[in-house]
Amino acid sequence: MIDAFNEDTIVAISTPPGEGGVGIVRLSGVCAIEIAAHLFVSSRGRDIQKEKQRVFHGHVYDSDGHTLDEVLLHVMAAPHSYTAEDVVEINAHGGRVPLRAILDECLALGARLARPGEFTRRAFVNGRMDLSRAESVIDLIHAQTRAALSAANVAADGALSQALYELRDILADALARIEAAVDFPEEDLPELVDDALLDGLRRAHKRMVELVATADTGILYREGVSLAIVGKPNVGKSSLFNALLRDTRAIVSAQPGTTRDRLEETITLEGIPARLIDTAGMRNTEDEVESIGVERARNAAQQAGMILFMVDASAPYSKEDALIAEELSSLEIPVMLLRNKVDLMNEMDTVPGGDSLPLEHFSSCNISAKTGAGLHELEHRLATTLLGNTACSVDAPMLFRAHQKDSMRRGAVSLARLLDNTTLSPEFLAVDLREALHAIGEITGETTPEDVLDRIFSSFCIGK
């Protein structure tokens, strides 16, 4: 047992549970290398405590001298490691039992099991990365689409932190000058709060407003959206579900009431991860199982980010359609009307009875789930509708979490207040500036409350 600093050395299996070609046990902290030296024997007789950055080949043994596994051991001495502490990664065979045995041996030698996200939290605490970068690490891992990955990489490379630090520097400089004006009231104030300073603050404000505007896109790429396909039985909901999935996941049948459960799969809409939900056709039914399905359809619609309301364009609108349309309009969730089965209409057909439905405020799309007609347009329309007019490039820094948006918005409001009242006494200007700085600090992590940090890092996986 190595007990001198045992609290400071953490260990976890950093690869996902299950079997794999390789699995990694990661140690970080002051005793990491010493602990590794106790259980590892280099095949060339090297002393791992003597070399700061190196990969060693050898075996790990338990305290009774039994071989646990043949491994590659990667030593990364502080500060040149992920956490900026001494780190040892033991690349073992990726089985549950050998990894668990190595982990147990590290624990027995005095390491403590890492909490979720604790490696990354240490990297943040040790100044290796700011909070926005640390958060982008988890987004890299969880990215569901290439667009989400690009956005996360921009932040992970530090472009967002860079933008935040530039803002912070402008505000901090301005604050220093305004505080000087407070300290020396006899000095000529206009010379301190001059046009150049105000111009700088105006530019900063503009940048903050721009960043706030990126947040909805960032959050959309990161979290995705759920799309519920609803409509009366037999209009083609399951057919569309399958067509967008490019798979035959749901049962399609000419018999009404086939889909009874709610099916859910993830698709990518121009880079946006979308959870597509197929539901039971909405109708009044005596069938017990089907009516549970209808209730689930209702719930799915109520919780969706957007509703795809499907009608059969080849048949007259019915009272059932009208009832569903009315129910959907009361939900305050964006609805897109899908007129399906256009392949059954010839060009002279007009959609019968369209005016009798409360559909004016639904944007609509003509499709055929069967032939695929209109589906590309539909996907494009969905993506552009979801992105709204906030669409921005994933190659530029964007905010990607609600708490970042909230902080940046508050900072921008404080700064706007200052810019609207530049003739106020410097004490008042300083208050607004401090608030704006504090808000940016909440995103970089400099002023983030401990409980928020706890919440953020605990959403990481163990071993990251």
Contacting residues toward ligand GDP, per CB under 6 A: 233-239, 252-254, 258-259, 281, 340-341, 343-344, 368-370
Q: For residues 162 and 253, which CB has a smaller minimum distance to ligand GDP in the complex?
A: 253
91 contacts 75 by C-beta, under 8 angstroms: no
Q: For residues 217 and 239, which CB has a smaller minimum distance to ligand GDP in the complex?
A: 239
* Rounded-to-integer distance, Cα 293 and Cα 15, Å: 39
Compute the least distance from the CB of residue 153 to Mg ion, in Å: 39
Q: For residues 284 and 389, which CB has a smaller minimum distance to ligand GDP in the complex?
A: 284
Q: For residues 92 and 308, which CB has a smaller minimum distance to ligand GDP in the complex?
A: 308
Stretch that binds Mg ion, among 14-22, 110-118, 186-194, 234-242 (CB under 5 A): 234-242
Compute the least distance from the CB of residue 237 to ligand GDP, in Å: 3
Q: Which of 145, 259, 364, 414 is close enough to bind Mg ion by CB under 5 A?
A: 259
Say which entry of ligand GDP, Mg ion, none residue 409 contacts (CB below 5 to 8 A, set by partner kind): none
Compute the least distance from the CB of residue 269 to ligand GDP, in Å: 20
Q: For residues 131 and 252, which CB has a smaller minimum distance to ligand GDP in the complex?
A: 252
Compute the least distance from the CB of residue 366 to ligand GDP, in Å: 10
Number of residues near Mg ion (by CB under 5 A):
3
* Rounded-to-integer distance, Cα 401 and Cα 448, Å: 14
Binding of Mg ion at residue 238 (CB under 5 A)? yes
Compute the least distance from the CB of residue 251 to ligand GDP, in Å: 7
Q: For residues 196 and 254, which CB has a smaller minimum distance to ligand GDP in the complex?
A: 254
464 contacts 10 by C-beta, under 8 angstroms: no
Binding of Mg ion at residue 234 (CB under 5 A)? no
The closest residue (CB) to ligand GDP is: 236
Q: For residues 238 and 368, which CB has a smaller minimum distance to Mg ion in the complex?
A: 238
Compute the least distance from the CB of residue 270 to ligand GDP, in Å: 23
Say which entry of ligand GDP, Mg ion, none residue 348 contacts (CB below 5 to 8 A, set by partner kind): none
Find the binding residues for Mg ion in span 137-156 (CB under 5 A).
Answer: none
Say which entry of ligand GDP, Mg ion, none residue 397 contacts (CB below 5 to 8 A, set by partner kind): none
Say which entry of ligand GDP, Mg ion, none residue 253 contacts (CB below 5 to 8 A, set by partner kind): ligand GDP
Say which entry of ligand GDP, Mg ion, none residue 110 contacts (CB below 5 to 8 A, set by partner kind): none
Say which entry of ligand GDP, Mg ion, none residue 217 contacts (CB below 5 to 8 A, set by partner kind): none
Give which of 214, 219, 270 is closest to 397, Cα–Cα: 214
Say which entry of Mg ion, ligand GDP, none residue 414 contacts (CB below 5 to 8 A, set by partner kind): none
Chain residues in the site for Mg ion (CB under 5 A): 237-238, 259
